[in-house]
């Protein structure tokens, strides 16, 4: 086990703002970095041009430590049969909203890290590059390391953590079952294989010799302190940043998060902040094709939340685009990804700097 003091990431605060595609841009990254934490920029939904302009903004801000995050899934070939089955499952919704399914283009959705991504990031030499769903080609990792870049990736099981260490990760993010958003799973598709954050953290700390970052359901200063006391090098927090001023979380998502947060009461009897209300989040594969945790919406309610109907990740997303837009126009999140972890109690409408300082307020 590595001691926390040996695994410092040279930032003032051991808080990593989780990369969150779809709800943030570099404004959140920069605000967290300026507050002394590690700000992350999710790149999975950025075109090369958009990525380059975000990197220019980050460079202009002059922040030294930040994390660029990419997905590294195997992009599947389009499958017309599965796509047709998916659209059939969505047919009643299309009908209700007056959408002709034939007019809805199929599309790739999120793209994995590639030679083109590397070309864009190379001139900026980002200090940390993190991945979700495993690691990309070893040659690419070697190049990132030539400029001193650190490579991180998420593990949802002990086996994945060991695999990441053996394949060149400089740090592992243990993502427990409580986490909002997509499971980073890549060696298994068994959802029952993912333990809770605390149990996974302990198992991984006992087994690897690289820094371990804890993620999933961490939403209070007490909980941050608890994972650091256990030996985590940092706490990676996503959901608790979703209401921050700099996040681009949609108004619908914000309202539902506030309602979810209000439903939580915390026990003051334990030092660690422990939610006593059951979360209304579920794991669903309907919104992208891969399991992710979010607030239950109408789509999850009526079709699933786990279903055979959607095509492989990330191809499921395209068919939902016009439905999402139509429902959002009516102020509803019926088909929107409302990603949220099991503990929304830390969601606060404050600046990201204030949130970062609050999360780290019990760190010695
Ligand atoms: C809205 C949202 C979007 C997310 N998008 C990404 C992403 O693009 N890349 C990634 O590695 N993880 C993503 N995650 C997962 C986070 O990295 C992290 O595992 C999770 O937020 C931790 O749990 P918490 O939400 O309970 O704090 C996302 C999480 C949320 C809530």
Q: Which residue CA neighbors atom 3 of ligand 1 most closely? A: 20
pLDDT tier at 113, thresholds 50, 70, 90? very high
Q: Which residue CA neighbors atom 5 of ligand 1 most closely? A: 20
225 within domain boundaries:
yes
Q: How far is CA 324 from the centre of its chain?
A: 20
- Looking at residue 69, what is its pLDDT? 98
282 within domain boundaries:
no
- Looking at residue 271, what is its pLDDT? 39
| Residues 189, 193, 199, 204, CA torsion sign | negative
191 within domain boundaries:
yes
pLDDT tier at 9, thresholds 50, 70, 90? confident
Q: What angle do CA 255, 300, 22 make, to 5 degrees?
A: 50
Q: Which residue CA neighbors atom 7 of ligand 1 most closely? A: 20
- Looking at residue 278, what is its pLDDT? 54
- Looking at residue 186, what is its pLDDT? 98
Structure tokens at 43: 């790149």
What is the residue range of 169's domain? Answer: 4-75+111-238+348-359
Ligand 1 atom index nearest CA of 343: 26
For residue 142, which of 162, 156, 122 has the smallest C-alpha distance? 122
> Is 213 within 8 Å of 16 (Cβ atoms)?
yes
**Model confidence over 318-350: pLDDT tens digits?**
999 999 999 999 999 999 999 999 999 999 999
Distance 265 CA to ligand 1 centre (A): 23
Looking at per-residue pLDDT, the higher value among 80 and 263 belongs to 80
Ligand 1 atom index nearest CA of 215: 22
Q: What is the pTM of this model?
A: 0.94
* Number of structural domains found in the chain: 1
Distance 241 CA to ligand 1 centre (A): 10
Residues at CB less than 6 angstroms from ligand 1: 18-21, 23, 42, 44, 69, 132, 154, 175, 178-182, 215-218, 236-239, 339, 341
Contacts of 160 (CB under 8 A, 6+ apart): 134, 154, 184, 185, 186, 187, 188
For residue 173, which of 199, 207, 141, 212 has the smallest C-alpha distance? 212
pLDDT tier at 78, thresholds 50, 70, 90? confident
- Looking at residue 269, what is its pLDDT? 38
Whole-number mean pLDDT of the chain? 93
Cα–Cα distances (Å) from 81 to 73, 87, 158, in that order, read 21, 10, 36
145 within domain boundaries:
yes
Structure tokens at 204: 């991984």
Helix orientation angle between 197-207 and 158-166, rounded to the nearest 10 degrees: 40
Lowest-pLDDT range, 13-27, 42-56, 99-113?
99-113
- Looking at residue 239, what is its pLDDT? 98
Distance 20 CA to ligand 1 centre (A): 5
Ligand 1 atom index nearest CA of 239: 25
Over residues 61-78, mean pLDDT: 94
256 within domain boundaries:
no
Residue 159 has pLDDT above 80, yes or no: yes
- Looking at residue 107, what is its pLDDT? 79
Distance 292 CA to ligand 1 centre (A): 9
- Looking at residue 364, what is its pLDDT? 84
127 within domain boundaries:
yes
Q: What angle do CA 337, 71, 224 make, to 5 degrees?
A: 75
pLDDT tier at 24, thresholds 50, 70, 90? very high
- Looking at residue 275, what is its pLDDT? 43
**Model confidence over 190-233: pLDDT tens digits?**
999 999 999 999 999 999 999 999 999 999 999 999 999 999 99
| Residues 161, 179, 113, 7, CA torsion sign | negative
278 within domain boundaries:
no
Q: Percent of the chain at pLDDT above 70? A: 93
Torsion of CA 243, 244, 248, 250, to 10 degrees: 20
Residue 188 has pLDDT above 90, yes or no: yes
**Model confidence over 259-313: pLDDT tens digits?**
999 886 544 434 344 444 556 899 999 999 999 999 999 999 999 999 999 999 9
Residues 295-319 as b/e (b if ≥16 CB within 10 A, e otherwise) read: bbbebbeebbbeeebbbbbbbbbbb
Mutate to test the pocket of ligand 1, among 15, 19, 109 (most ligand atoms within 8 A of CB): 19
CATH number at residue 50: 3.20.20.70
275 within domain boundaries:
no
């Amino acid at each position: 086990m590595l001691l926390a003091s040996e695994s410092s990431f040279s930032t003032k605060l051991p808080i990593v703002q989780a990369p969150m595609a779809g709800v943030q841009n570099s404004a959140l990254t920069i605000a967290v970095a300026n507050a002394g934490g590690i700000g992350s920029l999710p790149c999975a939904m950025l075109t090369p041009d958009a990525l380059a302009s975000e990197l220019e903004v980050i460079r202009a801000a002059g922040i030294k430590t930040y994390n660029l995050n990419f997905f590294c899934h195997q992009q599947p070939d389009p499958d017309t049969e599965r796509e047709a089955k998916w659209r059939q499952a969505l047919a009643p919704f299309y009908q209700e909203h007056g959408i002709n399914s034939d007019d809805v283009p199929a599309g790739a959705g999120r793209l994995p890290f590639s030679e083109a991504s590397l070309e864009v990031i190379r001139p900026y030499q980002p200090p940390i590059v993190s991945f979700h769903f495993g690691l990309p080609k070893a040659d690419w990792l070697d190049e990132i390391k030539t400029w001193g870049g650190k490579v991180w990736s998420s593990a949802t099981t002990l086996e994945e953590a060991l695999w990441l260490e053996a394949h060149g990760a400089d740090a592992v993010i243990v993502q427990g079952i409580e986490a909002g958003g997509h499971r980073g799973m890549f060696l298994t598709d068994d959802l029952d294989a993912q333990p809770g954050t605390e149990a996974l953290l302990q198992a991984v700390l006992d087994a690897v010799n690289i820094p371990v970052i804890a993620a999933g359901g961490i939403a209070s200063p007490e909980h941050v302190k608890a994972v650091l006391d256990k030996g985590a090098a940092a706490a990676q927090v996503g959901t608790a940043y979703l209401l921050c001023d700099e996040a681009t979380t949609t108004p619908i998502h914000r309202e539902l998060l506030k309602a979810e947060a209000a439903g939580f009461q915390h026990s003051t009897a334990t030092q660690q902040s422990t939610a006593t209300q059951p979360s209304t989040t579920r794991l669903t594969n309907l919104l992208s094709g891969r399991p992710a945790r979010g607030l239950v919406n109408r789509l999850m309610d009526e079709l699933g939340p786990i279903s055979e109907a959607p095509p492989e990740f990330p191809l499921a997303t395209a068919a939902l685009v016009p439905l999402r837009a139509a429902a959002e126009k009516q102020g509803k999140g019926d088909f929107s990804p409302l990603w949220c972890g099991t503990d929304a109690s830390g969601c606060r409408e404050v600046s990201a700097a204030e949130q970062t300082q609050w999360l780290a307020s019990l760190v010695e």
